[in-house]
Amino acid sequence: MTGWTRRQFGYLAGAMSIGALRPLAARGQAKAQVIVIGGGVGGATAAKYLALGSEALDVTLVEPKTRYTTCFFSNLYLAGLRSLESLTHGYETLAQRYGVKVIHDSVTTIDPVAKNVSLEGGAKLSYDRVVLAPGIAFKAGAIDGYDAAAIEIMPHAWTAGSQTSLLRRQLESMEDGGVFVLVAPPDPFRCPPGPYERASLIAYYFKQYKPRAKILILDAKDTFFAQDVFEDGWSRHYRGMIEWLPGQFTGGIKALDVKGRLIKTVGDTFKADVANVIPAQEAGRLAHQTHLVDQSGWCPIDPMTFESKLQPGIHIIGDAAKAGNMAKSAFASNSQAKVCAFAILAALTGSERFAPHLFNTCFTLLAPDDAVTSAISYGAEPETIKVNDFFLSKVGDKAETRRAAAREANGWYAAFTHDIFG
Amino acid sequence: MPGGSTAVPATAGHRHTALSLHLIIALSMVASLVVSVAEHSFAADNDQGAQLAATCAACHRLDGRDKGIPSIVGLSEEQFATAMRAYKSGERSGPIMQTMARSLSNEEIQILARYFAARGKETQRQ
């Protein structure tokens, strides 16, 4: 079969007849309306692939911010290894090259019965399908004393941007010999290796500029992702600098005294010079408000399409989705967005459907020249998503393997953000 | 960050303002044709090859550029399929690619091989 010839002929024929105009737009036919809410990794990827997949759709992306800073790789910024600008992307290419209509506004309500979306600016948009990519919210009341004011003193820095630069400034102004306390959240949360990569890279920064500083991780959990690989890396690179205390040791994090920079567990009180409190998480606000969330705090979905099990016509992708055993990561969100986009294209344009492929890859830096990788392929089943195949770097890998992975990580960032925004 | 492949042909016509009207029209028709082909090289292209290739695009740029992760655009059908089969069997090392290759059926590998070979020819022409 010569798919190439067939496709190429199609483009040429289309281009000959109407120049650079798009056929349906030229004829003014009514198009199906898809509204993507949230311009993070999942939302931006979905918008791009929906627009790429068919000219019979009008794709609108609603996102309040004009620039998006990626959470992934922001630990490199905290370590002084990358600028925040290098992690920041705009939506111009989605609009100009792919024809996505980008609206910078906030969604106030989604009406799943009338099938419309209301914006803060007053507009009301009708839809055939909604893709909601709301990301995470932090659970209120999980830690006593954790509120909007506390966030400005003990940042979470778990959505990138001003929170991340606040934490960086605090680390820079901390005295040598100070204690940095990182409060790690209970499962499930965004980016399972993230808190531990953060501890590693902040240790890298301390080792150069504040060699007497200490890092204390107070964890809600008793174990964490790739624990042996991290602990091995910490003892090789930052001996004696990082201490990790599991939930069973501390009894769990109970309260914060923001003024005193104190973190209270069941049995102890820890004094921090800089505190990074990453609280328990759940699906973003709009998901709760639209009744897309179950008791778990996340959004149940059909694994083949990512359509909500609670509200038809609304698809949820990314960290907010309850996607079986899939990790909550940028890579997973990007993978889900594609599966979701192809399912919507099939539903609205009659295009053929194929077996979905769900995948996750992750590069985690223990030091700038020591990266750990993981790769997971998943199988979508009617009720859940299961791990089919799994790879994770091991203790005792050759140094050159880890160095090569660190080089690859930078290439991956460039290609991945190009896939989303470029 | 524009993907480069569309930018040069799209502006080529504007540099020839001193040329005859016919030539300008001809040039801009060619330019718009090239833009249209380039934009649609992946657009409105929702077949199985394109859907599978979307997974590859999370690490490998599909405009043929390479910034640390090797480009897979431009490999011949045989080169691509041979490499993927070697990853799948474990004969070729690289744990991420091995995991990826094992998630694909032999038929899917062949579909991808055809897709990328075709994209390579298209990228070369621009």
Cβ B69–A412 below 8 Å, yes or no?
yes
A86 class by beta-carbon count within 10 Å (0-12 exposed, 13-18 middle, 19+ buried):
middle
Q: Write down the CATH number for the domain with range A31-137+282-353.
A: 3.50.50.60
Residue B75 has pLDDT above 50, yes or no: yes
Spell out the domain ranges in chain B: 1-39, 45-125
Residues 6 or more apart from A27 whose CB is under 8 A from it?
Answer: none
Say whether pLDDT at B35 is over 50. no
pLDDT reported for residue A141:
85
* Cβ-based neighbour number of residue B22 at 10 Å: 8
Cβ distance of A52 and B42 shorter than 8 Å: yes
Would you state the structure tokens that stand for residue A78, as one six-digit string? 């905290």
The answer to whether the CB of A192 falls within 8 A of the CB of A328 is yes
- Transcribe A292-317 into DSSP letters: ---TTSSEEB-TTT-BBSSSTTEEE-
Helix (H) or strand (E) holding A204: helix A194-209
Instruction: Report, in angstroms and rounded to the nearest whole number, the Rg of chain A calculated over CA atoms.
Output: 23
Topology (CATH) of B45-125: Cytochrome Bc1 Complex; Chain D, domain 2 (1.10.760)
**Domain map of chain A by residue range?**
31-137+282-353, 144-279
Interface of A with B in 346-365 (CB under 8 A): 349, 351-352, 354, 357, 359, 361
Burial class (CB in 10 A: 0-12, 13-18, 19+), B124: exposed
The domain made up of A144-279 has a fold known as FAD/NAD(P)-binding domain (3.50.50)
- Count of A–B CB contacts within 8 Å? 149
pLDDT for B119: 87
| CB spacing of A418 vs B40 below 8 angstroms | no
Residue B22: per-residue pLDDT: 52
CB contact under 8 A, B48 and A408: no
- Residue A298 tokens read as 């996340």
A19 → closest Cβ in B32, B41, B54: B32
Residue of B nearest to A53 (CA): B44
Segments of chain A scoring below 50 in pLDDT: 1-27
pTM: 0.87
